[in-house]
């Protein structure tokens, strides 16, 4: 327990619930103040729950809200077992602290990544709520002079049915004392599902009203007294350095305050945003030509990766090892081999990256929409040359994250500018071109799968080799990366599968070629499931089995997976004949610990090669559905993301220069592109699992499988653009 927790635990008005590494501080307080005051209190004393004497319950959201709905879902789980009156709950964004707010299932890091929020905080929130409720009950028992066993709760109040007396949480808070010893709770004390008032009831999201009237505050919206604007001219090829700067024209732009050479480019500080952006364009800069990315052209890299993929003697990291796949393949009657390619794709969050920093002496404040506040704290401290404890992070709403807003390059660069801004806060805004050329793309990936079959066509061994650049190797300190065995689940993961395969070997080979890559919604499963699920269809064809029946046979020992696959087949009426020129394709994914299956109905334009998706059906089992309609919305959104990556989105890099710089050349899904989507959420008593990304991986393989059924041609290169389809059709 940390020092301030000890102090808090000793006061009569505050106590700490939860056990182990996650301690939840609770305070009884006076009337609730503004959100800012609550946030400040949370940062200084770590208060997670505040029960005000006005009955307002203020809860911390430890996670970042980027549209996935966790600013509602995570506090809601606590409110359920506290039996709080949701109409009196206020949610406040947490400050930066792994210690106070770290995700119990994500190594206690305060990161909103990997679809870990609801699943990671689930038990902690519910137990904390239950324990805090016990404290309220104990106090009410004393006030009402009745045994605690006779008391129950209604939302926001304790009820003594026998005497028909009620006492509100606010009333209790006025005089509440912390009982000694503190009541303890276990899982058995959690509210049974039959009594849920919030979980599973589709509570409206707390952030939605502000998002329809212009008051929602994203990083981009920060306004501070004396604030200046920043813009940075970046090299065309990542990681090149500034050699010479001619700023004579840039200095003439009205509003320019200062031009400063930074380690990452040339910074402009101006008193208007338009001045900063114009001056940036007017700079004449020469750059070094030594970065490894100079030779990066993706066709060349892809050819190179293919060689590495085929050669198992080349070094790699073991990601999955079950049985002896190598021996099984040697003894196989037949080996089916296939290679899969996936191009770089870009995050293109609607809100281009930006951050505001204010350096005052050795103190730094930053404002940013980010997925990892404690990482921002460290990066800003490095940029400002101060200690992380001197940095305050204000996490704003994120205008899209999708994995891009964990890196913190925006925060670091804004802090570099602010350090040169003589005590003024600086808001750094990237334009769309900055955002795309400096993106941390989903890695360009080559995969090779070799499946050993016996005489009956049954799988005896499965080898899967994934070749790409590392994400974790770039963002983790080298000793930390080494300590996890260089097991990069973001770039090289996703090879695991629930199918019954005895001899299974997955290896990831890192092949650095000078372009930064990142975590992109769905991470590795976004391409590994494309390979696995289309190959499963080929194996079914080889065995002359229906792809649905084949999957069910491989999932016979995994009832939850099988149920999801069967459910989506039923939804889509899998066995019913389709109109001429259309076919169905199926795919299943166990990524993010959730069970997801999709069926798509497609047609192909023979002349143009364009694939049209007419309908998508999806079923998902992510355990207990905390916010079922939000899960549906996440599925639709993630599948739309998946459609883009399946059909259209790709970044071209020529000699290190990113070619796509805006939505004209980098085309994402628009309203007219989106097919009808039918989603079924299967809820059960299992602990909730990841949902923000679960819809991505199934889309591309389902489409490829449908195209194969329709045309007999297997597509193995993402995205499946009209050109590639035409080429495949011959």
- Residues at the contact surface with another protein, assessed by CB under 8 A: 66-69, 204-205, 207-218, 220-221, 223, 229, 254, 272-274, 348-352, 397-402, 429, 431-432, 629-630, 633-634, 636-641, 662-664, 668-672, 674, 677
Distance CA 69, CA 89 (A): 16
Give the CA dihedral 538, 540, 545, 547, nearest 10 degrees.
Answer: -90
**Pick 227 or 317: Cβ nearer another protein:** 227
**In the block, residue with structure tokens 């800012």:** 36
Closest CA to 344 of 293, 413, 398, 379: 293
**Pick 348 or 412: Cβ nearer another protein:** 348
DSSP code of residue 235: P
**Pick 389 or 664: Cβ nearer another protein:** 664
Distance CA 108, CA 101 (A): 8
Helices (H), 452-578: 472-475, 478-483, 525-542, 547-554, 559-572
Asked whether the beta carbons of 78 and 45 are under 8 A apart, the reply is no
The number of helices, as runs of H, and strands, as runs of E, in the chain is 20, 29
Q: Which two tokens stand for residue 634?
A: 């996440």
CB of 267 to another protein, least distance (A): 18
**In the block, residue with structure tokens 């819809």:** 695
> Cα Rg for the chain, rounded, in angstroms?
27
CB of 349 to another protein, least distance (A): 6
For residue 563, give Cα distances in angstroms to 119, 553, 595: 21, 12, 9
Distance CA 226, CA 218 (A): 19
- Beta-strand pair 89-93/57-61: parallel
CB of 639 to another protein, least distance (A): 7
CB of 674 to another protein, least distance (A): 5
Asked whether the beta carbons of 476 and 288 are under 8 A apart, the reply is no
For residue 122, give Cα distances in angstroms to 97, 401, 480, 686: 19, 22, 27, 11
CB of 355 to another protein, least distance (A): 14
CB of 543 to another protein, least distance (A): 36
Return the sign of the alpha-carbon dihedral for residues 81, 82, 86, 92: negative
CB of 538 to another protein, least distance (A): 30
**Pick 349 or 704: Cβ nearer another protein:** 349
Q: Determine the length of the chain.
A: 730
Distance CA 535, CA 549 (A): 15
Distance CA 384, CA 43 (A): 21
**Pick 416 or 616: Cβ nearer another protein:** 616
At residue 345, the 3 state secondary structure works out as: coil
Asked whether the beta carbons of 427 and 353 are under 8 A apart, the reply is no
**Pick 220 or 453: Cβ nearer another protein:** 220
Distance CA 432, CA 684 (A): 43
Closest CA to 338 of 309, 313, 312: 309
Asked whether the beta carbons of 141 and 179 are under 8 A apart, the reply is no
Distance CA 366, CA 363 (A): 10
Asked whether the beta carbons of 685 and 624 are under 8 A apart, the reply is yes
Bin 581: left if φ > 0, else alpha if -120 < ψ < 50, else beta: left
CB of 673 to another protein, least distance (A): 9
CB of 69 to another protein, least distance (A): 8
**Pick 493 or 690: Cβ nearer another protein:** 690
**Pick 171 or 649: Cβ nearer another protein:** 649
CB of 392 to another protein, least distance (A): 21
CB of 457 to another protein, least distance (A): 39
Asked whether the beta carbons of 694 and 591 are under 8 A apart, the reply is yes
**Pick 246 or 274: Cβ nearer another protein:** 274
CB of 399 to another protein, least distance (A): 3
CB of 397 to another protein, least distance (A): 7
Q: Which two tokens stand for residue 507?
A: 């290896």
**Pick 348 or 506: Cβ nearer another protein:** 348
CB of 113 to another protein, least distance (A): 15
Q: Which two tokens stand for residue 321?
A: 């090892």
**Pick 72 or 381: Cβ nearer another protein:** 72
**Pick 370 or 630: Cβ nearer another protein:** 630
Closest CA to 631 of 194, 193, 201: 201
**Pick 603 or 634: Cβ nearer another protein:** 634
**Pick 207 or 546: Cβ nearer another protein:** 207
For residue 679, give Cα distances in angstroms to 67, 613, 637: 18, 16, 11
CB of 256 to another protein, least distance (A): 12
**Pick 180 or 664: Cβ nearer another protein:** 664
């Amino acid at each position: 327990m940390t020092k301030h927790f000890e102090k808090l635990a000793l006061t009569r008005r505050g106590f700490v619930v939860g056990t182990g590494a996650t301690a939840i501080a609770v305070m009884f307080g006076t009337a609730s103040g503004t959100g800012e005051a609550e946030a400040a209190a949370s940062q200084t004393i770590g208060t997670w729950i505040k029960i005000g004497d006005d009955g307002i319950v203020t809860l911390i959201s430890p996670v970042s809200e980027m549209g996935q709905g966790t600013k509602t879902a995570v506090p809601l789980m606590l409110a359920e077992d506290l039996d709080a009156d949701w109409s009196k709950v206020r949610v406040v964004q947490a400050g930066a602290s792994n210690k106070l707010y770290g995700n119990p299932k994500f190594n206690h890091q305060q990161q909103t990544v990997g679809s870990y929020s609801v699943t990671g905080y689930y038990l902690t929130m519910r137990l904390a709520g239950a324990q805090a409720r016990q404290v309220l009950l104990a106090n009410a028992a004393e006030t009402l002079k009745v045994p605690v066993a006779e008391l129950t709760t209604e939302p926001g109040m304790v009820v003594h049915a026998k005497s028909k007396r009620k006492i509100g949480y606010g009333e209790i808070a006025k005089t509440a004392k912390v009982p000694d010893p503190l009541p303890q709770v276990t899982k058995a004390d959690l509210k049974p599902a039959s009594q849920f008032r919030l979980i599973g009831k589709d509570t409206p999201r707390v952030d939605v009203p502000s998002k329809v009237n212009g008051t929602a505050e994203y990083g981009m919206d920060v306004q501070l007294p004396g604030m200046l604007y920043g813009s940075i001219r970046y090299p065309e090829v990542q990681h090149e350095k500034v050699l010479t700067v001619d700023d004579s024209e840039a200095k003439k732009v009205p509003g320019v305050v200062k031009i400063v050479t930074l380690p990452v480019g040339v910074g402009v500080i101006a008193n208007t945003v338009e001045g900063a952006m114009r001056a940036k364009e007017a700079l004449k800069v020469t750059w070094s030509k030594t970065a490894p990315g100079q030779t990066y052209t993706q066709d060349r890299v892809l050819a190179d990766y293919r060689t590495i993929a085929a050669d198992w003697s080349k070094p790699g990291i073991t990601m999955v090892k079950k049985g002896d796949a190598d021996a099984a393949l040697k003894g196989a009657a037949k080996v089916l081999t296939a290679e899969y390619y996936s191009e770089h794709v870009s995050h293109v969050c609607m809100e281009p990256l930006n951050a505001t920093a204010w350096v005052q002496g050795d103190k730094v404040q930053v404002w940013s929409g980010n997925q990892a506040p404690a990482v921002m704290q460290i990066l800003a401290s490095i940029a400002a040359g101060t200690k992380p404890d001197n940095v305050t992070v204000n996490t704003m709403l994120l205008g899209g994250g999708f994995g891009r807003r964990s890196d913190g390059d925006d925060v670091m660069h804004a802090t570099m500018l602010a350090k040169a801004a003589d005590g003024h806060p600086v808001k750094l805004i990237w334009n769309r071109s900055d955002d795309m050329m400096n993106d941390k793309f989903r890695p360009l990936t080559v995969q090779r799968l070799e499946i050993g079959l016996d005489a009956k066509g049954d799988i005896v061994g499965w080898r899967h080799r994934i070749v790409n650049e590392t994400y974790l190797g770039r963002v983790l300190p080298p000793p930390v990366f080494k300590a996890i065995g260089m097991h990069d689940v973001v770039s090289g993961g996703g090879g695991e599968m629930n199918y019954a395969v005895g001899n299974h070997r997955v290896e990831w080979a890192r092949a650095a070629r000078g372009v930064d890559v990142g975590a992109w919604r769905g991470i590795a499963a976004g391409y590994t499931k494309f390979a696995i699920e289309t190959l499963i269809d080929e194996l079914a064809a080889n065995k002359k089995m229906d792809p649905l029946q084949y999957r069910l046979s491989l999932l016979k020992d995994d009832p939850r997976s099988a149920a999801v696959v069967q459910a989506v087949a039923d939804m889509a009426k899998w066995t019913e004949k389709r109109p001429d020129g259309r076919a169905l394709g199926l795919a299943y994914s166990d990524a993010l610990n959730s069970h997801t299956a999709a069926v798509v109905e497609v047609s192909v334009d023979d002349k143009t090669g364009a694939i049209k998706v007419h309908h998508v059906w999806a079923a998902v089992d992510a355990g207990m559905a905390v916010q079922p309609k939000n899960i549906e919305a996440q599925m639709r959104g993630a599948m739309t993301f998946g459609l883009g990556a399946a059909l259209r989105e790709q970044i071209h890099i020529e000699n290190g220069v990113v070619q796509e710089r805006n939505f004209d050349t980098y085309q994402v899904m628009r309203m007219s592109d989106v097919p009808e989507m039918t989603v079924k959420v299967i809820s059960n008593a299992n602990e909730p699992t990841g949902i923000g990304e679960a819809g991505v991986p199934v889309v591309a393989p389902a489409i490829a499988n449908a195209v194969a059924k329709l045309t007999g041609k297997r597509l193995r290169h993402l995205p499946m653009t009209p050109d590639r389809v035409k080429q495949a059709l011959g």
